[in-house]
Amino acid sequence: MSATLYQRIQQFYDTSSGLWEQIWGEHMHHGYYGVDGKAKKDRRQAQIDLIEELLSWAGVKTAENILDVGCGIGGSSLYLAAKFNAQATGITLSPVQAARATERAQEANLSDKSQFLVADAQAMPFDDNTFDLVWSLESGEHMPDKTKFMQECYRVLKPGGTLIMVTWCHRSTEELPLSADEQKHLEDIYQVYCLPYVISLPEYEAIARQLPLNNIRTADWSQAVAPFWNVVIDSAITPQAIFGLLRAGWTTIQGALSLGLMRRGYERGLIKFGLLCGNK
């Protein structure tokens, strides 16, 4: 990963994670609002429901040693550790996130079940065949080399283990290339959220077949999660959030001001919420 991109991602999450937790909570990912996206539910419950729906979709009923790639402040890691009575390891580029996740593990009495490290997902500090579940929830979009990232996830996965990857994608270009306007829309998102680029779900599937991952399944849950951005926008205009944004600094303010980019991306069918799972 290039030093500049690494530093931008680290700074973005170092400065914004505290505010996100204060306003929103520990889960730094989309929520699930039913297959058609019309279910009315508490915003944090929607995020927990996403985790449960993903496990059900991928057929994961148990796990002993879990890797959470792009763990944030430990939301998924600690949830999965408690659910499965498993060991969970989380990696992030943000020292602030890793430290807070460690604190949260202590608060939840899960210190003996979890560890959080600052590490590059494209060069993980783990032996081959270590984890029986590799969980990557909305981190693939940050990876400058999607193939290397998936190769690393595959390398550390035990034979028979499951990879669940959920990532921001752009629409498939198999029938129609991206227009100049769509490219500009994506580039604006890249700039704000520190993304090198995103690819389509069929492109991720092609990489998975080269690994080679077995029993590959993919799904597009864009409709199920699209209401999330409306809820985030609503939460960002409270006095508490506005005061927190001013304290967090320009990078975080810019991200908040650009929430509409993601909402419009879903509305026009440009942004896709892509799922992929398979076994080694």
Label residue 261 by pLDDT band (50, 70, 90): confident
* DSSP single-letter state for residue 109: T
The span from the CA of 271 to the CA of 257, in Å, is 18
| Residues of the chain above pLDDT 70, percent | 90
Return the SS3 of 82.
helix
The span from the CA of 143 to the CA of 161, in Å, is 22
Task: Report pLDDT digits (tens) over 100-136.
Answer: 999 999 999 999 999 999 999 999 999 999 999 999 9
| Residues ≥6 apart with Cβ < 8 Å to 203 | 146
Return the SS3 of 69.
strand
235 pLDDT higher than 70: no
| Residues of the chain above pLDDT 90, percent | 76
242 pLDDT higher than 60: no
Amino acid at 167: T
| Residues ≥6 apart with Cβ < 8 Å to 254 | 192
Task: Name the pTM for this structure.
Answer: 0.92
What pLDDT, on a 0 to 100 scale, did the predictor assign at position 225? 96
Out of 3.40.50.150, 3.40.50.80, 3.90.950.20, 2.40.50.140, the CATH code matching 3-273 is 3.40.50.150
Amino acid at 59: G
The span from the CA of 8 to the CA of 13, in Å, is 9
248 pLDDT higher than 70: no
Return the SS3 of 26.
coil
209 pLDDT higher than 70: yes
Question: 24 vs 76, which has greater pLDDT?
Answer: 76
Are 35 and 219 in contact by the 8 Å Cβ rule? The answer is no
What pLDDT, on a 0 to 100 scale, did the predictor assign at position 222? 97
275 pLDDT higher than 80: yes
What pLDDT, on a 0 to 100 scale, did the predictor assign at position 220? 98
Task: Report pLDDT digits (tens) over 6-36.
Answer: 898 998 888 888 877 887 779 989 999 999 9
What pLDDT, on a 0 to 100 scale, did the predictor assign at position 1? 61
The domain ranges of the chain are 3-273
Burial (CB count within 10 angstroms: exposed 0-12, middle 13-18, buried 19+), residue 117: middle
Question: 17 vs 217, which has greater pLDDT?
Answer: 217
Segment 93-99 shows an average pLDDT of: 96
* Closest to 200 in 3D by CA, of 182, 227, 226, 181: 182
What pLDDT, on a 0 to 100 scale, did the predictor assign at position 237? 61
The span from the CA of 124 to the CA of 101, in Å, is 18
Task: Report pLDDT digits (tens) over 129-168.
Answer: 999 999 999 999 999 999 999 999 999 999 999 999 999 9
What mean pLDDT is reported for the chain? 92
